[in-house]
Amino acid sequence: MTDRDRLPPPPVLRHEIARRIARFRREHYSRLERTYRDLVEKGQHPRALFIGCSDSRVIPNLLTGADPGELFVLRTIGAIVPPHGSDQHATGAAIEYAVLALGVHHIVVCAHSHCGAMRALYQPPIAGAHHLNLWLEQAREAALDASESDEVVVETAQRSVVIGIERLLGYPEVAERVADGRLALHGLYYIIEEGEILVLDFSRGEFSPLR
């Protein structure tokens, strides 16, 4: 018996998903067909790495107005950036690939309002969620010595962005390029219900409305 034989039969693609895929090719792909073909023939050359949360309400390309090929996206639970040298190899690999192989000029760390991952730091571990609970410990440094509240969750998410920026500077390839001006780091906080982006002001350590 081969490994393939052990696999369950493929499920039938739900009509809604099939319809949306067909619409993608009919409306979106047909409009940008030349762009997609150029990206295959000439390769991708995104200018920015966007590190954002896996939350379904956060859509990086929509937020930034990026077309195909312009944004290299890393989505993690809570937009958490683990320290250099941690055992979270997938995240570290994405950062290294974006900087060393793709040569991005910007890295954006974007947290958002009503983040379940940040709220989970103030709640008991989720039973049976071994990988999730270990991952959330990567953000423990951002947690406050306070009881859970909406205000605390907001501050925790914003602190996580600052910590993420600091951790990025622990990656040698990032620190080197920031130092010589080839790479810039940016911190964002997205308020979902208002459609507003707050930008981290490094000099003051505060988030301000985008101007």
For residue range 57-73, list pLDDT tens digits in order.
999 999 999 999 999 99
Q: What is the mean pLDDT of residues 95-114?
A: 98
CATH code at position 184: 3.40.1050.10
Residue 21 belongs to some domain of the structure: no
Could you tell me the residue range of the domain that residue 185 belongs to? 44-209
Residue 13 belongs to some domain of the structure: no
Q: How would residue 12 be classed by pLDDT, with cut points 50, 70 and 90? A: low
Question: How many residues in total does the chain contain?
Answer: 211
Residue 55 belongs to some domain of the structure: yes
In the numeric block, which tokens belong to residue 210?
């985008």
Give the model's pLDDT for residue 3: 67
Instruction: Indicate the average pLDDT of the chain.
Output: 93
Backbone angles phi, psi at 184, to 5 degrees: -125, 145
Give the pLDDT confidence of 107-138 residue by residue, as tens digits: 999 999 999 999 999 999 999 999 999 999 99
102/111 Cα distance (integer angstroms) = 24
By percentage, how much of the chain surpasses pLDDT 90? 81
Residue 83 belongs to some domain of the structure: yes
pLDDT of residue 11 exceeding 80 = no
Number of separate domains in the chain: 1
In the numeric block, which tokens belong to residue 193?
């219900």
Give the model's pLDDT for residue 17: 86
Report CA-CA distances (Å) from 36 to 33, 42, 70.
5, 10, 12
Q: How would residue 4 be classed by pLDDT, with cut points 50, 70 and 90? A: low
Give the pLDDT confidence of 13-54 residue by residue, as tens digits: 677 888 888 999 999 889 999 999 999 999 999 999 999 999
| Interacting residues of 123 by C-beta distance below 8 A, sequence separation 6+ | 148
Question: Which residues share a beta bridge with 108?
Answer: 50, 186
Q: What is the mean pLDDT of residues 182-198?
A: 97
Give the number of other CB atoms < 10 A from CB of residue 31.
Answer: 9
Q: Is 12 helix (H, G, I), strand (E, B) or coil?
A: coil
Residue 31 belongs to some domain of the structure: no
By percentage, how much of the chain surpasses pLDDT 70? 95
Q: How would residue 210 be classed by pLDDT, with cut points 50, 70 and 90? A: confident
Residue 88 belongs to some domain of the structure: yes
Residue 28 belongs to some domain of the structure: no
13/121 Cα distance (integer angstroms) = 36
Give the model's pLDDT for residue 10: 62
193/187 Cα distance (integer angstroms) = 19
| Interacting residues of 140 by C-beta distance below 8 A, sequence separation 6+ | 121
Q: C-alpha angle with apex 203: 199 to 208, nearest 5 degrees?
A: 25
Residue 39 belongs to some domain of the structure: no
**Contact present, 138 and 86 (Cβ < 8 Å):** yes
Taking each continuous run of H as one helix and of E as one strand, the counts in the chain are 10, 6
pTM as predicted: 0.90
